[in-house]
Structure 1
């Protein structure tokens, strides 16, 4: 048997067995790998010529290139987009000597150079006197806070209440109570802590602030509100202002008064120097707090001095009270303060009557007697009571009692020294009856405006030495709808301890670029599919 083969097509080779007798006994086909591929293509109902296969491969390569190009464009042109930060909240109770107030602040989750951008959103005044007045009834101090805590509960979103920090800072009133009776001051703080902890907030503690802290935080508040640390631009960015102007702070409460400023020379007394770092900058601040020299304590000292000077004369003449005004107090009331030196023996129930005489000049002189203005080993760098103070430098905001007194007299926000002196003198000469007729609604404070004004003049001129720089003082209560006090500075400082939210970042492109890329990719895919369809359906 012989084999006879011949090439018939590209599909394969056909062979047959030739019988020696001259006839074919059988026919066998042997196919190559190429033939098997052609049969596989038949599964899809078509056979691709070599030209069509090359074209199809080209289309696939083009589509791959389109995808790579689009990816490269996106990666090269992308930028990071910060998603909006939710607001965070914080609260500070200002537990002063005469009253307590709750201040609520909020700030975005991100922070500028690690210091939160804080704004005031709520103020709630607690009913009654300061918490130090509850020395004999500590639970009452805690209960007095409930009204304002309920207001805070309504203001903070429910899902953020447990992460909202609450602080209570007590100032000079509690500092005096601590000196007077440490146990009672502890019990008062214990009771306010107990009440605040009963609310779904993150309570961070109740503490008594030092006088230096109170002064420094007031300084921070003023300069934050004046955008001395950081400024919001029209482009919506926060930047550190060039040629920044740093303000000084003058605060007077019921039991203490504070002065804080950046002096034009290095602070010589380390005990009066602070170096706060805010928004990436370090500052050197002089600050001092005079305990017992707030308005209420000064008025107490004045009455005791007048009583001593009067000898046995009764009633005791009071030059700062208006003619026609009389008040009777017990000796127990007069000496009920750690700021007052008590006699070795006295009858607390014994009464003393003070009668007003409307003598402004004598009133001013008596104010100087309650301050030590002469003994200072560091002269001329002195405040009063022998305390070191560098010369005042720059402009100042005077707030709290400073503002309320001068605003009542029509001297806020600014007045010349001559105008202030004349206005106070004229007011102090008026009778009590004429004042009650004109200011009946102010009766609660009306008695003390003359004394307060003369005390303020003594502190500013004789104590702090503003004689030549009186025009640098601005008597203000608010800046940018925010109260000037130590609480905002306190919260600003504490936001360095509150972790900033981790920013939510996505990768994005500009809208125009995104639209162009989508169009380019869509068009390329459409064109490729169109070419592929033509190749598959076209059969010449």
Structure 2
């Protein structure tokens, strides 16, 4: 369960400034000599230090440098790769923690690719853990928590295979590093937590923690699943089957009703697997789809297996959309309240929007549902061999928005990779939770 510590300080700039001025006056009066004056060289040094600190850190950050520094290591073991976040956090009094730095390093493939060799799966994390070893000061290693949280990639493996991988990961970390290892060092994270933590991270970076209903919704499209999260203001108006997905939790100083749903098996990579149909060609099994370029032939690796894939003579936008509709019809219940939310879409949604020319910089831009329909039509018409999945992927994303959730063509959303310079991920929310549990233990 989340606690009130999971929030960002939201004092106004004026309050922070006045607070810092008061603090400076108090400390100045305490530090005077008996004559009431400091030697001129010391005054100049202190003045320069204060100026540098205020310019570089800002009033609040600079004055909080004396706070305790904590490190939390989170490894996001996803379906397509593993990514490490080494978070540097400072205590912010009653407001929980302030993120100072996120050292990030990704690698591929993911743990699920090593289903037949659990030891190799564990050893694949060595570059990430070595990276953390360098980023965390040596004298902080023994009390720096490391957690490996696997998502949809391991959820879709058999329980035995996934368990063997996680056991080997725990052994590897404990045998080779001096980080603090708690029970369940490596575990499969529930999709609900994944979505909730991503929403918390998003609101943190948006500084959207005022004690009023939050208007922000998050849609995080991963490889194995996707998550939809928002605070509901009218729980009674939700579809009957959606009400069980509402959690009542304390966030940012008040109890909130948060809708969070994880759609396992509907991430982008899993959608591809479902849309690629098996056929026999010259006695060999091949996967094909009208969503692939007609003249394409090649290999595709997914979940530790390799497949032969090729295009279809029926390749077109209309046929691809029909295939998606037939495959996923009825899997998603539309939620009218989503129309009132400020939707942020990220992960693979950003990647595919960028490939289609909808967004450029990492901060993304505001796009419409119709924009996704347009780049999907363009991709299917272009038949580009070097973008073999662009038609399939963008048609699927457009299907989610336009037909599954029934968002109007002119519905506007933020498609982003970063917010205020920080990459959106569930890992920061998970780090806050680890710090809260450490306080309570």
Q: TM-score, structure 2 length as denominator?
A: 0.75
2:124 maps to 1:183: no
- Which aligned pairs between 1:29-68 and structure 2 lie closer than 5 A? none
Other-structure match for 1:463: 404
Other-structure match for 2:47: none
Deviation of the 1:371 alpha carbon = 0.8
- Which aligned pairs between 1:416-495 and structure 2 lie closer than 5 A? 416-432=368-384, 436=386, 446-467=387-408, 470-471=411-412, 473-495=413-435
Other-structure match for 1:294: 267
8 Å contact 1:327–1:355 — kept in the other structure?
no
8 Å contact 1:323–1:430 — kept in the other structure?
no
Deviation of the 1:195 alpha carbon = 1.6
Other-structure match for 2:74: 92
2:337 maps to 1:391: yes
Other-structure match for 1:365: 322
2:162 maps to 1:164: no
8 Å contact 2:113–2:303 — kept in the other structure?
no
| Cα 1:499–1:137 shift into 2, 3 Å | same
Other-structure match for 1:122: 103
| Cα 1:449–1:431 shift into 2, 3 Å | closer
| Cα 1:388–1:409 shift into 2, 3 Å | closer
Deviation of the 1:470 alpha carbon = 2.0
| Cα 1:494–1:281 shift into 2, 3 Å | farther
| Cα 1:483–1:352 shift into 2, 3 Å | closer
Query: Could you report, residue by residue, the CA deviation over 1:198-249 in whole angstroms, capped at 9, with x for unpaired residues?
Result: 31111231111111111111111111111112xxxxxxxxxxx476743111
- Which aligned pairs between 1:301-312 and structure 2 lie closer than 5 A? 301-304=274-277, 307=279
Other-structure match for 1:401: 348
Task: Find 2:227's aligned residue among 252, 258, 271.
Answer: 258
Secondary structure of the corresponding residue to residue 496 of structure 1: helix
For 2:119 and 2:196, locate their aligned partners in 1 and report how far apart those are by CA, in whole Å: 31
Other-structure match for 1:8: none
Other-structure match for 2:290: 319
- Larger Cα Rg: Structure 1 or Structure 2? 1
For 2:356 and 2:382, locate their aligned partners in 1 and report how far apart those are by CA, in whole Å: 13
Deviation of the 1:104 alpha carbon = 1.3
Query: Could you report, residue by residue, the CA deviation over 1:28-47 in whole angstroms, capped at 9, with x for unpaired residues?
Result: xxxxxxxxxxxxxxxxxxxx
Secondary structure of the corresponding residue to residue 207 of structure 1: strand
Query: Could you report, residue by residue, the CA deviation over 1:415-472 in whole angstroms, capped at 9, with x for unpaired residues?
Result: 2343332232122211336xx4xxxxxxxxx21111100000111121122226621x
- Which aligned pairs between 1:499-510 and structure 2 lie closer than 5 A? 499=439
| Cα 1:107–1:246 shift into 2, 3 Å | farther
Query: Could you report, residue by residue, the CA deviation over 1:354-402 in whole angstroms, capped at 9, with x for unpaired residues?
Result: 44654112111211111123xxxxxxxxxx35x5846313111111111
Query: Could you report, residue by residue, the CA deviation over 1:476-497 in whole angstroms, capped at 9, with x for unpaired residues?
Result: 1111222112111111233222
Secondary structure of the corresponding residue to residue 105 of structure 1: strand
For 1:317 and 1:134, locate their aligned partners in 2 and report how far apart those are by CA, in whole Å: 25
8 Å contact 2:87–2:102 — kept in the other structure?
yes
Greater shift, 151-160 or 104-113, is seen at 104-113
Query: Could you report, residue by residue, the CA deviation over 1:302-326 in whole angstroms, capped at 9, with x for unpaired residues?
Result: 112x759x9x9x9886321123212
Secondary structure of the corresponding residue to residue 382 of structure 2: coil
For 1:289 and 1:159, locate their aligned partners in 2 and report how far apart those are by CA, in whole Å: 39
Task: Find 2:94's aligned residue among 112, 117, 123.
Answer: 112
Query: Could you report, residue by residue, the CA deviation over 1:43-62 in whole angstroms, capped at 9, with x for unpaired residues?
Result: xxxxxxxxxxxxxxxxxxxx
Deviation of the 1:352 alpha carbon = 7.2
| Cα 1:356–1:209 shift into 2, 3 Å | farther
Task: Find 2:438's aligned residue among 498, 510, 523.
Answer: 498
For 1:103 and 1:336, locate their aligned partners in 2 and report how far apart those are by CA, in whole Å: 25
Query: Could you report, residue by residue, the CA deviation over 1:150-203 in whole angstroms, capped at 9, with x for unpaired residues?
Result: 1111111122111111111111111111xx2x2211110011111222311112
Greater shift, 189-198 or 268-277, is seen at 268-277
CA RMSD of aligned residues (A): 3.1
Other-structure match for 1:222: 202
8 Å contact 1:327–1:354 — kept in the other structure?
no
8 Å contact 1:358–1:430 — kept in the other structure?
no
For 1:394 and 1:402, locate their aligned partners in 2 and report how far apart those are by CA, in whole Å: 18
What runs of 5+ residues in structure 1 fail to find an aligned partner?
1-80, 230-240, 338-347, 374-383, 437-445, 501-540
Deviation of the 1:327 alpha carbon = 3.6
8 Å contact 1:112–1:279 — kept in the other structure?
no
Secondary structure of the corresponding residue to residue 259 of structure 2: strand
Task: Find 2:215's aligned residue among 246, 259, 262.
Answer: 246
Query: Could you report, residue by residue, the CA deviation over 1:492-530 in whole angstroms, capped at 9, with x for unpaired residues?
Result: 233222329xxxxxxxxxxxxxxxxxxxxxxxxxxxxxx
For 1:262 and 1:144, locate their aligned partners in 2 and report how far apart those are by CA, in whole Å: 38
8 Å contact 1:255–1:294 — kept in the other structure?
yes
Other-structure match for 2:118: 138
2:188 maps to 1:208: yes
